[in-house]
Amino acid sequence: KNLSIINDIFRAAHSLKSSAAFVGLYNLSDLAHKMENLLQLTRDGKLQVKLPLVNLLFQCFDLIKYVIRSVAEGNKIETPFTDMIQKLDAYEKDPTSFSNVAGASSAQAAPFSNAPASPVPAQKSVEALATSAASSAPAKSVSYSGLEIHLEAEEVRELEEEIRKSGKCW
Protein backbone atom coordinates (compact mmCIF):
# COMPACT_ATOMS: atom_id res chain seq x y z
CA LYS A 1 0.00 0.00 0.00
CA ASN A 2 2.76 2.47 0.89
CA LEU A 3 4.51 1.79 -2.41
CA SER A 4 1.26 2.64 -4.17
CA ILE A 5 1.17 6.00 -2.40
CA ILE A 6 4.82 6.67 -3.24
CA ASN A 7 4.11 5.76 -6.87
CA ASP A 8 1.16 8.17 -6.95
CA ILE A 9 3.25 11.01 -5.55
CA PHE A 10 6.12 10.14 -7.91
CA ARG A 11 3.80 10.30 -10.93
CA ALA A 12 2.37 13.62 -9.73
CA ALA A 13 5.88 15.05 -9.33
CA HIS A 14 6.87 13.71 -12.75
CA SER A 15 3.80 15.25 -14.39
CA LEU A 16 4.31 18.52 -12.58
CA LYS A 17 7.97 18.61 -13.65
CA SER A 18 7.13 18.35 -17.33
CA SER A 19 4.02 20.53 -17.18
CA ALA A 20 5.82 23.30 -15.31
CA ALA A 21 8.67 23.24 -17.83
CA PHE A 22 6.15 23.27 -20.69
CA VAL A 23 4.63 26.54 -19.47
CA GLY A 24 7.98 28.10 -18.62
CA LEU A 25 7.96 27.57 -14.85
CA TYR A 26 11.48 26.15 -14.89
CA ASN A 27 12.16 26.76 -11.21
CA LEU A 28 9.06 24.78 -10.26
CA SER A 29 10.15 22.08 -12.69
CA ASP A 30 13.55 21.92 -10.97
CA LEU A 31 11.89 21.51 -7.57
CA ALA A 32 9.61 18.76 -8.87
CA HIS A 33 12.65 17.03 -10.39
CA LYS A 34 14.41 16.98 -7.00
CA MET A 35 11.26 15.58 -5.38
CA GLU A 36 11.10 12.95 -8.11
CA ASN A 37 14.72 11.93 -7.38
CA LEU A 38 13.97 11.33 -3.69
CA LEU A 39 10.79 9.46 -4.50
CA GLN A 40 12.63 7.24 -6.98
CA LEU A 41 15.11 6.33 -4.25
CA THR A 42 12.21 5.28 -2.02
CA ARG A 43 10.68 3.28 -4.87
CA ASP A 44 14.01 1.51 -5.36
CA GLY A 45 14.25 0.73 -1.64
CA LYS A 46 17.38 2.85 -1.24
CA LEU A 47 15.67 5.38 1.02
CA GLN A 48 13.11 4.71 3.73
CA VAL A 49 10.02 6.85 4.14
CA LYS A 50 10.35 8.49 7.54
CA LEU A 51 8.78 11.54 9.13
CA PRO A 52 11.55 13.97 8.08
CA LEU A 53 11.10 12.97 4.43
CA VAL A 54 7.33 13.31 4.74
CA ASN A 55 7.82 16.77 6.27
CA LEU A 56 10.08 17.81 3.40
CA LEU A 57 7.53 16.58 0.87
CA PHE A 58 4.77 18.50 2.62
CA GLN A 59 6.94 21.63 2.50
CA CYS A 60 7.32 21.06 -1.23
CA PHE A 61 3.57 20.53 -1.65
CA ASP A 62 2.85 23.78 0.17
CA LEU A 63 5.38 25.66 -1.93
CA ILE A 64 3.99 24.14 -5.13
CA LYS A 65 0.44 25.10 -4.15
CA TYR A 66 1.58 28.64 -3.40
CA VAL A 67 3.38 28.98 -6.73
CA ILE A 68 0.47 27.62 -8.72
CA ARG A 69 -1.99 29.88 -6.90
CA SER A 70 0.25 32.87 -7.56
CA VAL A 71 0.61 32.02 -11.23
CA ALA A 72 -3.15 31.51 -11.53
CA GLU A 73 -3.56 35.05 -10.12
CA GLY A 74 -1.27 36.37 -12.86
CA ASN A 75 1.91 36.76 -10.82
CA LYS A 76 5.27 35.79 -12.25
CA ILE A 77 7.41 33.64 -9.95
CA GLU A 78 11.09 33.53 -10.78
CA THR A 79 12.51 32.35 -7.46
CA PRO A 80 14.87 29.39 -7.91
CA PHE A 81 13.69 27.71 -4.64
CA THR A 82 17.35 27.18 -3.79
CA ASP A 83 16.73 26.62 -0.07
CA MET A 84 14.16 23.90 -0.64
CA ILE A 85 16.23 22.20 -3.33
CA GLN A 86 19.26 22.28 -1.03
CA LYS A 87 17.19 20.67 1.73
CA LEU A 88 16.14 17.89 -0.63
CA ASP A 89 19.75 17.41 -1.76
CA ALA A 90 20.95 17.33 1.85
CA TYR A 91 18.32 14.75 2.75
CA GLU A 92 19.29 12.61 -0.22
CA LYS A 93 22.97 12.72 0.81
CA ASP A 94 22.41 12.17 4.55
CA PRO A 95 18.89 11.36 5.74
CA THR A 96 20.19 10.73 9.26
CA SER A 97 20.98 14.42 9.64
CA PHE A 98 17.21 14.97 9.63
CA SER A 99 16.44 12.29 12.23
CA ASN A 100 15.80 14.56 15.22
CA VAL A 101 12.51 15.95 13.97
CA ALA A 102 11.34 17.45 17.25
CA GLY A 103 14.57 19.37 17.72
CA ALA A 104 15.28 20.14 14.07
CA SER A 105 15.38 23.65 12.80
CA SER A 106 12.62 24.78 10.49
CA ALA A 107 15.23 24.88 7.75
CA GLN A 108 15.52 21.11 7.99
CA ALA A 109 12.34 19.34 8.83
CA ALA A 110 9.42 21.48 9.93
CA PRO A 111 6.43 21.75 7.63
CA PHE A 112 4.91 25.15 7.15
CA SER A 113 1.33 26.28 7.01
CA ASN A 114 -0.50 27.14 3.83
CA ALA A 115 1.14 30.00 2.00
CA PRO A 116 -0.86 33.19 1.56
CA ALA A 117 -2.76 33.57 -1.69
CA SER A 118 -1.63 37.17 -2.09
CA PRO A 119 1.43 37.83 -4.23
CA VAL A 120 4.81 38.11 -2.57
CA PRO A 121 6.65 41.03 -4.16
CA ALA A 122 10.24 40.06 -3.40
CA GLN A 123 11.67 36.83 -4.73
CA LYS A 124 13.47 36.33 -1.46
CA SER A 125 10.11 36.35 0.30
CA VAL A 126 8.94 33.25 -1.55
CA GLU A 127 11.95 31.30 -0.36
CA ALA A 128 11.51 32.66 3.14
CA LEU A 129 7.99 31.30 2.98
CA ALA A 130 9.33 27.87 2.16
CA THR A 131 11.81 27.82 5.02
CA SER A 132 10.51 29.91 7.89
CA ALA A 133 6.73 29.99 7.93
CA ALA A 134 6.47 27.13 10.40
CA SER A 135 5.89 28.13 13.98
CA SER A 136 7.24 24.88 15.41
CA ALA A 137 8.38 21.42 14.42
CA PRO A 138 6.00 18.51 14.99
CA ALA A 139 6.52 16.20 17.93
CA LYS A 140 8.26 12.90 17.21
CA SER A 141 5.00 11.05 17.75
CA VAL A 142 3.25 12.85 14.90
CA SER A 143 2.73 10.67 11.87
CA TYR A 144 1.03 11.20 8.57
CA SER A 145 -1.36 8.61 7.26
CA GLY A 146 -1.12 7.27 3.77
CA LEU A 147 -4.47 8.92 3.08
CA GLU A 148 -3.13 12.38 3.95
CA ILE A 149 -0.13 11.87 1.67
CA HIS A 150 -2.39 10.53 -1.08
CA LEU A 151 -4.67 13.56 -0.74
CA GLU A 152 -1.68 15.90 -1.03
CA ALA A 153 -0.57 14.08 -4.19
CA GLU A 154 -4.10 14.42 -5.57
CA GLU A 155 -4.05 18.17 -4.87
CA VAL A 156 -0.73 18.48 -6.69
CA ARG A 157 -2.25 16.67 -9.70
CA GLU A 158 -5.24 19.02 -9.66
CA LEU A 159 -2.98 22.05 -9.46
CA GLU A 160 -0.84 20.69 -12.26
CA GLU A 161 -3.99 20.39 -14.37
CA GLU A 162 -4.74 24.06 -13.67
CA ILE A 163 -1.33 24.98 -15.08
CA ARG A 164 -2.11 23.04 -18.25
CA LYS A 165 -5.53 24.65 -18.59
CA SER A 166 -4.13 28.15 -18.22
CA GLY A 167 -1.94 27.67 -21.29
CA LYS A 168 0.12 30.65 -20.17
CA CYS A 169 3.85 30.68 -20.50
CA TRP A 170 5.49 32.47 -17.58
Q: Mind listing the pLDDT tens digit for each residue in 131-168? A: 433 333 333 333 445 545 555 666 666 666 665 665 55
Q: Is 154 helix (H, G, I), strand (E, B) or coil?
A: helix
| Ramachandran region, residue 53 (left: φ > 0; alpha: ψ -120 to 50; beta: rest) | alpha
Q: Is 8 helix (H, G, I), strand (E, B) or coil?
A: helix
Average pLDDT, whole number, for the chain? 71
User: Which DSSP symbol is given to 141?
Assistant: T
Q: What does pTM read for this prediction?
A: 0.60
Question: Quick check: 60 pLDDT over 60?
Answer: yes
Q: For residues 138-157, b (16+ Cβ closer than 10 Å) or e, as one string? A: beeeeebeeeebeebbeebb
- Identify the pLDDT of residue 2: 75
- Please state, in angstroms and rounded to a whole number, the distance separating the CA atoms of residues 119 and 125: 10
- Identify the pLDDT of residue 137: 36
Domain total of the chain? 1
Maximum average pLDDT range among 7-21, 33-47, 70-84 = 33-47
- Identify the pLDDT of residue 32: 93
Better-scored residue on pLDDT, 147 or 80: 80
